[in-house]
Amino acid sequence: MESRQIPTKTLHDGAPVPVLGLGTAGYGSAFGGEYRQGDALRAALQMGYRHIDTAEIYGGGRSEELVGAAIRGMPREELFIATKVHRAHLRHDDVLRAIDGSLSRLQCDYVDLYLIHAPEPAIPLRETMDAMNELVERGKIRYIGISNFGVDQADEALSLTRSLIATNQVHYNLLVREPERNGVLRWCQEHDVLLTAYSPLEKGRVPRDDTVIRLAGDLGVTPAQLALAWLIKKDHVITIVQSDNVEHLEENLGALDVDIPEDMVAELENLPAHRVRW
Ligand SMILES: NC(=O)c1ccc[n+]([C@@H]2O[C@H](COP(=O)([O-])OP(=O)(O)OC[C@H]3O[C@@H](n4cnc5c(N)ncnc54)[C@H](OP(=O)(O)O)[C@@H]3O)[C@@H](O)[C@H]2O)c1
């Protein structure tokens, strides 16, 4: 299997992050699917995927275990491993316990990125951020991330961190444009924070959209490649896509070679959300 180097964008301190990562939300939860998912993870790593996104909640921790098993023996510094603390664990001491659970399942001494999975208004953000700051200082996490944070919440998180925010991971794709409307995309660009677009294929619905299919055909690429390339082309945007299908994993890497002409970008920018066939 051929391996390729995935291009990177840089964090606030210049550190590189691969623009295309592998999501694992559905890993570890499908009965009987674990062998396929383990194989897919190993195949992805062989192909050159280095940015892997997981969370303590995915598969009740099983996703992290599958990732840990797949990366065992690989040079740790070549990987960018991201995991997330669940919103039920955002009290100070709960965060400290949660990271130890994740590190043990991942069989790692540290994660590259630790994200607050979603804001929890019942718990003061200062309490959570105090714990996140401590984790950076103790070397258990390299970078702090937030996820599903609006502009005001992101501002508050930034004001409480002692080491800045690496990324806000939010729902964003050709059919879901919330980060453009609610200001999160602009906020990330202005604050030198990467926006990590999750569900970039809207769980498989984007590649079934008539307009995306037509435009991809005109360009001689697949709909998934066009959708991923559209995201990656944007300033400060990277993405994580999930698949446990080796052909799709390879196909999605092809997005890195897609050059979208400006007139097509304009058409994609205006793609109305209602075109999706559910
Ligand atoms: N922070 C958060 O709250 C949050 C929320 C949701 C997701 N996420 C993260 O983002 C990752 C990705 O999001 P997602 O899993 O929701 O959705 P997604 O990546 O948009 O879509 C995954 C689906 O698309 C299919 N697919 C993949 N490549 C394809 C291709 N080339 N052609 C056609 N279909 C293709 C996959 O099926 P096959 O397996 O058959 O390829 C799978 O069913 C998650 O795994 C997770 O890590 C984070």
Residue with tokens 């921790």: 61
**Quick one: pLDDT at residue 276?**
44
The residue contributing the CA closest to ligand 1 atom 22 is: 203
- Condensed to tens digits (0 to 9), the pLDDT of residues 150-205 reads 999 999 999 999 999 999 999 999 999 999 999 999 999 999 999 999 999 999 99
Give yes or no for residue 32 having a pLDDT over 70. Answer: no
Mean pLDDT of 3-15: 96
Q: In angstroms, rounded to a whole number, what is the distance separating the alpha carbons of residues 77 and 277? A: 42
Half-sphere exposure of residue 35, counting CA atoms within 13 Å on the CB side? 1
Half-sphere exposure of residue 86, counting CA atoms within 13 Å on the CB side? 14
The residue contributing the CA closest to ligand 1 atom 11 is: 23
172 is catalytic: no
Ligand 1 center–CA 223 separation, angstroms: 14
Domain boundaries of the chain, sorted by first residue: 8-206+227-260
Give yes or no for residue 271 having a pLDDT over 90. Answer: no
Whether ligand 1 lies within 6 angstroms of the CB of 223 is answered as no
Whether ligand 1 lies within 6 angstroms of the CB of 242 is answered as yes
- φ/ψ (deg, to 5) at 51: -100, 115
β-sheet bridge partners, residue 146: 116, 168
For residue 24, which atom of ligand 1 is closest to its CA?
Answer: 45
Name the residue among 213, 221, 205 with its Cα closest to residue 171: 205
CATH code for the structural domain at 8-206+227-260: 3.20.20.100
Neighbouring CB atoms inside 10 A of 163's CB total: 16
Whether ligand 1 lies within 6 angstroms of the CB of 243 is answered as yes
Q: Which residue in 58, 114, 143, 172 is the catalytic one?
A: 58
